[in-house]
Amino acid sequence: MSLRLGDKAPNFTAQTSLGEINLYDYLGDGWGVLFSHPADYTPVCTTELGRTAALKDEFAKRNTKVLALSVDSAESHRGWIKDINETQNVEVTFPIVADEDRKIAEEYDMIHPNASVNATVRSLFIIGPDKTIKLIITYPASTGRNFQEILRVLDSLQLTAYHSVATPADWKDGEDVVVVPAIKTEDIPAKFPKGYTEVKPYLRLTPQPNK
């Protein structure tokens, strides 16, 4: 059965480019981004892992750890990392999980039914501190991920988790946010002292609380 939003992220212990890790232990009480790539030494994914490494400080600011996965070996990962560091002018310090028996890929539904059984779909999961799946995005092999969108979604998810707000279409960090329907209008002033605008009874906007 496919994973859905709100499902518990399957835990695993596996060899990685940095040695053996347990997913839950690695994430601790923070957030996580787990993303798969079809194979090592592939062009689009080389740029993606490079971009992830370049955004190390941005993920750290959000208390988020990243890890990648493919069905290649940890030894293969370590060789590929040398190429990534060289061509993308970065230093990959996050683990790349080795999933040679495809067990993790199958648990996370990363094996595409119409593709080679040795290739994972390019899926990305955001995992919350409660170890549940908060976001699932699947990309075709030809399209590189938009990491600014991933950071934007992380910001939105964390605002919802910590401040009881949602984010409107095309929202960017610093813009007004939506008060969630569960909060009564009469309770808004106490919770959101910056004020609010009632566009409709069901659409209440307030300045971003953590800015």
CA separation for the pair 113, 52 (Å, rounded): 28
Residue 45 is among the residues annotated as catalytic for this protein: yes
Sign of CA dihedral 46, 49, 54, 58: positive
- Please identify which of the residues 33, 45, 105, 110 carries the catalytic annotation: 45
Strand runs (DSSP E) across 115-190, as ranges?
A: 122-127, 133-139, 165-166, 177-179
**Helical residues (DSSP H) of 15-102, grouped into ranges:** 23-27, 43-54, 56-61, 74-88
Cβ–Cβ under 8 Å, residues 125 and 103: no
Place of tokens 């040679």: 100
CA separation for the pair 30, 50 (Å, rounded): 22
Q: How far apart are the first and last CA of the chain?
A: 40
Residues designated catalytic: 45
